[in-house]
Each structure stands twice: as structure tokens, then as C-alpha cells.
Amino acid sequence: MRALRNIKAVAMNTYREAVREKLLYTLLMFAGLMIASSIVLVKIHLGYDERIYYDVGLAAIALFGSLIAIFVGINLVYREINSKTIYTMLAKPMRRWEFLIGKYLGLVGLLALEIVLMSALFLAVVWFQKGTFPAELLYAIVLIFVELVLLTAIAIFFSSFTTPYLAGMFTVSLWIIGHLLADIREFGNLPDSEAIRPLTEALYWGLPNLDRLDIKGLAADGIPITLKDLWMNIAYGLSYASLLLFSATQLFRVRDFR
């Protein structure tokens, strides 16, 4: 029970601090403008193309949510260390893993709020133009949130043992590579690439495969998505995030703050 109280206190404090970040409102404003601009893009497009609503809206939610997860996540731990407030927190009956998990859950709560706000605007635009929206859009939004949960875990993992600059570089790199793993594996399967095939297979199976959580194109094309595939991808994202969080707590446990 004490652990839960400590985690809840850190999570609430992190959430309140993150809400005050001006960067969040700037990114949220740009996301809103990008989603709303899809109406104009459809009007000037040669031929009515409803896919523009879906492509632009889902891309805006994913992009700006990812930017929030990365740039806020890499600073969560460092800010407390730099301001020396972490000594006060850990001087209380609070263990390091409770502090780190609380930080993580606070940011995930903020991302959930951001996703709800951006998704509400996006679905309102689609509903205003069409009078309905396919269920695949909701599935895509759910997996976008799971991707942000995983991306936040990646940011927390790197920030648990290095500086914000390096954590940002590593997180952005994994974010990009995670969406290219299928292409990397296919490149390794080419007849002329047998020498690097073990490496590409290791990367494909070892690194977080964010492409599994990206069904924006399928949703925009109206391709049916089964609930089985949806739940399998959710389980994959949450399992990988849990593994990263566990590793982060172990690294953070032995970190020297001096």
C-alpha cells in the first residue's frame, strides 16, 4: 500500500508539472491546426478524397503525441536530479523504482489526455464531413496510444542512466528505426545480403517494432482490422514497455547522482 501511495503521489505531481509546460500547448495547437487543415486540403484537392481526413488526422495525433512523449520523457528524471529535489524525495520512505514508475505513469496520464483531446477534434471533423466514422479509426487511435506508452518507456529507460541529450538521440533513433524494421529485415533477405542477414534478424526481433502498432494506412484505406490482431499488438506494446521499465528501474537503482 505504501508503494502505491508513493507512486500515486509522484505520478500526480509529475502530471501537474507537465501540464504547465508551454511546449505541450504549442504542440497541441499545431496538432489542432493540422487536423482542421484537412478540411481545406479536401476542398482544394482534385476530386473529393475522404482519405485526406484520415491520413492527416491520424498522422497529426501520432506525430505530436510522439514529440510530447520524447521531449518531456527525457527530461523527467534529469530535471529532478538537476534541481536536487530528488534527494528530498528519496530521503522520504520512497524507493527509487517507485519514483521512476510514478514519473512514467504521470506522463502516460498526460499523454492519455492529449490523445483524447486530439482524437475528439479529429473525429469531430470526420463526423462533420461524413456523418459517421469507421471503427478502424478508433483502433488506429488505440494503437497510437500504445505506441506512445512504449515510446515513453524508451525515453524513461535511456534517461535513467544518461543525459537528456543522449537520451533524446537514442530515443529518436529507436523511434525512427522502429518504424523501419520491416524494411531492414526485407533488405537482409535479399540474395546479395546474406552476410548481414543475422544482424537484420537480430534487429528485427530485438528492437521495439513500432511498425506493428502503426495501422494508420490500413484504417485510412478502410481495410478491416480484426480484434485478435488489435489485442495481440496491444499486448506486444505493453509487454515491451514493461520490460523496458523493469530494466530502467534496475539501472536507476544503482545510478550515482553525484
Look at residue 42 in the predicted model and tell me its pLDDT: 59
Give 43's pLDDT tier (boundaries 50, 70, 90).
Answer: low
- pTM of the prediction? 0.89
d(CA 25, CA 7): 26
Residue 72 has pLDDT above 60, yes or no: yes
Higher pLDDT, 31 or 160: 160
Residue 41 has pLDDT above 90, yes or no: no
Residue 113 has pLDDT above 70, yes or no: yes
Distance from chain centroid for Cα 173: 14
Answer yes or no: are the C-beta atoms of 210 and 152 closer than 8 Å. no
Residue 131 has pLDDT above 50, yes or no: yes
Look at residue 155 in the predicted model and tell me its pLDDT: 93
Mean pLDDT of 127-135: 75
Residue 99 has pLDDT above 70, yes or no: yes
Residue 121 has pLDDT above 70, yes or no: yes
Look at residue 56 in the predicted model and tell me its pLDDT: 80
Give 216's pLDDT tier (boundaries 50, 70, 90).
Answer: confident
Look at residue 40 in the predicted model and tell me its pLDDT: 64
Distance from chain centroid for Cα 231: 17
Residue 48 has pLDDT above 60, yes or no: no
Q: What are phi and psi of 54, to 5 degrees?
A: -70, -45
Higher pLDDT, 48 or 36: 36
Residue 237 has pLDDT above 90, yes or no: yes
DSSP string of the chain, one letter each residue: -HHHHHHHHHHHHHHHHHHT-HHHHHHHHHHHHHHHHHHHHHHHSSS--THHHHHHHHHHHHHHHHHHHHHHHTTHHHHHHHTTHHHHHHHSS--HHHHHHHHHHHHHHHHHHHHHHHHHHHHHHHHHHHS---HHHHHHHHHHHHHHHHHHHHHHHHHTTS-HHHHHHHHHHHHHHHTTHHHHHHHHTSGGGGGGHHHHHHHHHHS--GGGG--HHHHHHT----HHHHHHHHHHHHHHHHHHHHHHHHHHHT----
Mean pLDDT of 72-91: 75
Quote the cell numbers at residue 172: 529518436
Residues 6 or more apart from 71 whose CB is under 8 A from it?
Answer: 23, 168
d(CA 212, CA 56): 20
Higher pLDDT, 57 or 210: 210
Mean pLDDT of 239-248: 94
Mean pLDDT of 232-252: 94
Give 17's pLDDT tier (boundaries 50, 70, 90).
Answer: confident
d(CA 148, CA 30): 18
Give 101's pLDDT tier (boundaries 50, 70, 90).
Answer: very high
Q: Name the range with the highest mean pLDDT among 2-16, 157-171, 218-232.
A: 157-171
Residue 245 has pLDDT above 50, yes or no: yes
